[in-house]
Structure 1
Amino acid sequence: MYPRTTDMEEMRRRCRPITWAFYSYWDSKRLRPDGTRRQMPSRADIDPTEMVPWLPHIQLIDVFHNPRRLVYRLVGETDVSFRGYNPTGRTVEEGMIGRSAEETLRNYELVIDQHLPVYDWAEYVSRSGYLRSQEGLLLPLSDDDKTVNMVLTFAQVDTQA
């Protein structure tokens, strides 16, 4: 079974405090000025100056529809280091990290089609040959609160001895 959940209480029990803090930041951006909650914030709601501790760990992926294409717009230092190259401008299929393309793309499908946050965790061997423990969080962004036009991700990667 692929290690993923859309249950944010399960994520809270499993994840590192920095990952929960990032989710809480995204969640806070769903509030409208009148106090009602949207399903997802827009890219304009996300302020990089408020995200300084998380910037090395984030990615922004543009979502194009008809046909669907997922393209890396911004990739933080954590993911660039783990991959050994910067996939900015490439599709997710070309630059993805995961056990399989099918499971990685399933994470994006849940975020885009169901507007759900997705948390996953796993161990990988990096290109340098070191075993790494990874946890990732994929979050939807939408300009109209109906169609996901970007996915914001956060990843923590640790080297294991």
Structure 2
Amino acid sequence: MPSRSDIDPLDIPDLLPGICLLDVEALDRPACKVRFRLAGTRIRDMVGHDVTGKFIDDVFDPPTVEMMAANYQWIAERLEPHYDRRTKQLSEVTTAVYERILAPLGEEGKKPDMFFGMHVVSMQGAQPLNEPLPVG
């Protein structure tokens, strides 16, 4: 398992908007305590405000925190990255696709004390036109 010193987000500047670093204080549910150490601008835009320094239960609703805690526990038990993909229908023709990969960081032989993640949001389907197409 890589450690925090193996990862420098500044080494991958093109990915910074979607990167997060999470500090793990406790993974036991329901008292899962995970805090955003770093949250890129894409995460801020998805949530609607900067979440850096905040615990997940201060940012998200209880069902979302429960789902996140289950993902974190899965990662901590297996010491493997976890991939998540969700979709949200925005209109009849447009779907938002959210993808996230989260990997454990910490000392070898121990539970992770951090998670490193990357978030991507994309749109699928036709986008409505803002102006009519020229005819002829």
1:62 matched to which residue of 2?
23
Unaligned runs of 5+ residues in structure 1 are 1-39
With the length of structure 1 as denominator, give the TM-score of the two structures. 0.64
* More helix as a share of residues: 1
1:143 aligned partner, one-letter code: E
Alpha-carbon distance in 2 for matches of 1:132, 1:83: 14
Contact 2:32–2:69 under 8 Å retained in 1: no
1:77 paired residue number: 41
Contact 1:42 1:145 in 2 (8 A): no
Contact in 1 for aligned 2:9/2:19 (Cα 8 Å): no
CA deviations on 1:6-53 (whole Å, 9 max, x unpaired) are xxxxxxxxxxxxxxxxxxxxxxxxxxxxxxxxxx10010112332112
CA offset digits 1:55-91 (Å, max 9, x no partner): 1111111001386510111100111011111111211
- Specify the SS of the correspondent of 2:54: coil
Contact 2:10 2:16 in 1 (8 A): no
Identity value in percent: 29
Please point out which of 89, 105, 110 is paired with 2:69. Answer: 105
The correspondence of residues 108-123 of structure 1 with structure 2, limited to 5 A, is: 108-123=72-87
If you compute each CA radius of gyration, which structure gives the higher value, 1 or 2?
2
**Which residue of the other structure, out of 121, 125, 136, is the alignment partner of 2:100?**
136
Does the 8 A contact of 1:58 with 1:155 survive in 2? yes
Aligned to 1:42: 3
Unmatched segments (≥5 aa) in structure 2: 128-136
Number of corresponding residues: 119
- 1:156 and 2:117 matched: no
Contact preservation (8 Å) 1:118, 1:137 = yes
TM-score in terms of structure 2 length = 0.74
Aligned equivalents of 1:142 and 1:133: distance in 2? 30
More strand by share: 2
